[in-house]
Chains A and B, each alone.
Chain A
Amino acid sequence: MRKTLAIFEKEFKSFFYSPLAYVIIAIFTLITGYLFYNLLSWFVEQSFMMTMQAQQYRQAPPKFNVNLHLIRGYFGTLAFISLFILPTITMRLFAEEKKQGTLELLYTTPITELQVVTGKYLAGLALYIVLLIPTMFFMALLFIYGDPEFLPVLSGYIGLILLGSTFIALGLFISTLTENQIIAAIGGFALSLLLWIIGWGATFTGGTLKPVLEYLSILVHFEDFAQGVIDSTHVAYYLIFTIFGLYLSLKSIESVKWRT
């Protein structure tokens, strides 16, 4: 446990020692902030117009659901941006070690491959949570100026973290395959994107393939979270893929050791 923590801590620190960290955080915050502002403006404008219309026709002012019209959309946006940003976090996790030759240290000290993989995965996840913190401030604004429901926000974040966890585990696996960080990032992105778009195929296929494709789609599983529902089948989906990614990473570094 202490060794896993040591790996975790080292990854976390290393990340913040490189300028890349600040670039990633800045970009993520800027984009998510900008999109939040847009969504908010759109929402305010819509509710204003609707209220005006209602007044014209002397009806009761309609109730606008912040959760339904704003928060849900915003979580979808966050998931989408995460798809792009997470490979930049995971790309260095193993590729860098390979490049610097530090695997020779890790593999000759009494630490297991599982501890290495777990420590790195947890570091990736922690970094993702750090990335999400600014968006929580944006959300907090809604609570200050309006009164959205809290639970869907909470479940939305849980969903995001689970989704991130899947992307991180898969990105980690890709990172074990190469010593080139750019390739690791592109590969991680490609694999994540595949999970993202695989459900689209469901629209055009029928038969037995349809439910399979739908099940595999990472988006389908995310929608409920953004609506405040935590369904165990969705949780299971993310956990399965996370474990799958970690398992592949483990096997990959074990086999690399065997081959060379």
Chain B
Amino acid sequence: MIEVNDLTKYYGQKRAISNVSFKVKKGEILGMLGPNAAGKTTAMRILTCYMPPTAGSATVGGYDIFDQSMQVRRITGYLPENPPLYTELTVKDYLMFVAKIKGVEKDKTKAEIDTVIEKASIGEVRNRVIGKLSKGFKQRVGLAQCLLNNPQVVILDEPTVGLDPKQIIEIRELIKNLKGDHTVILSSHILPEVEQTCERVVIISEGEVVAEDTPENLTARMKGGERVLLELEGDEKQVKEVFRTFPDVTAVKVNKTAGGLLKVEVESKKDLRKDYAQALIVKKIGLLEMQSDKVTLEDIFLHLTTKEEAA
């Protein structure tokens, strides 16, 4: 449904993205994950025909974003990072306006607006002036706008920014419900969001795609390392030495708790829990707790997007 080939974009001298490529299948939800200034917004703006790329190409629904931009726009709904709202209009007038410029047929307009109002749960504010709404409701009005004319492709730039936890859950549910009927790309730097809503994740860092996979596979790929959390009673220096004796241990992090205990995080190439236990007993270090920690996407993210190796 969406094919992106080697997109590169320069703002003057500054390169925002370089050689970004990925594909999204019909009905799929793709997460675009990356820290600030990674180039997520830039990539989305290119896909939605807001601006052309410096190099590379992309098609949306089979249409070229450059040569067939009107067709692309016709099948795409876009929620920019800052919802594009006319603050002086009422919600209803605003949606009416967007419906017209999106080319919704006249006799379908009313029904179409009612549908998106319901989807975005903004029925209670439909006659209010947008400028006077709370941030969360503004975001939803933006989302309603994006869903007008039932677009095949939905592109959402950080859709849950500025919402309260309850609203975040609601919006995520809404996004999940888009699956199947719509092809969705959403960007975020909040990991749980991508993990919960997306089937596939593209991780972008400094303008380049550094990983692309399902959340599960990414986790597995990172599983080169085992991570164990321990709670110990003993001398900090001594504890560190114990773990350093294992050649397979790649990282040790020790924190003192208020009660004088030590919280230790150990990463290793393979599962060494039994060996840890033995070594600690030999050194007479109190082993209070030990648990294996599944590597979360958060780690992958940190791992893949920070420059220095986690080890």
Contact = CB atoms under 8 A, between A and B. Distances in A.
Contacts, number: 75
Nearest to A17: B88
B87 A100 contact: yes
A102 B85 CA distance: 6
Interface residues of A, number: 27
Interface in A61-108: 100-108
Contacts of A106: 101
Contacts of A108: 48-50, 73, 76, 78, 80
A13 B93 contact: yes
Nearest to B99: A6
B74 interface: yes
Contacts of B80: 101, 104-105, 108
B145 interface: yes
Nearest to B71: A110
Interface residues of B, number: 30
B89 to A, nearest CB: 7
Interface string B30-63: 0000000000000001001111100000000000
B89 A260 contact: no
Interface string B97-116: 11011110010000000000
Contacts of B85: 100, 102
B103 A3 contact: yes
Given A14-B88, A257-B51, A258-B52, A110 B93 contact: no
B86 interface: yes
B70 interface: yes
A209 B276 CA distance: 95
B117 to A, nearest CB: 18
B73 A109 contact: yes
A100 B97 CA distance: 16
A253 to B, nearest CB: 12
B70 A105 contact: no
Contacts of B93: 13
A110 B102 contact: yes
Contact of A107 (B49, B89, B129): B49
A172 interface: no
B196 interface: no
Given A101-B82, A105-B98, A108-B76, A258 B51 contact: yes
A244 B138 CA distance: 38
28 contacts: A2-B103, A6-B101, A7-B101, A10-B97, A13-B89, A14-B86, A17-B88, A100-B85, A100-B87, A101-B80, A101-B82, A104-B45, A104-B78, A104-B80, A104-B82, A104-B84, A105-B80, A105-B84, A105-B145, A108-B49, A108-B50, A109-B73, A109-B102, A110-B74, A110-B103, A111-B101, A260-B11, A260-B51
Interface of A: 2-3, 5-7, 9-10, 13-14, 17-18, 100-112, 257-258, 260
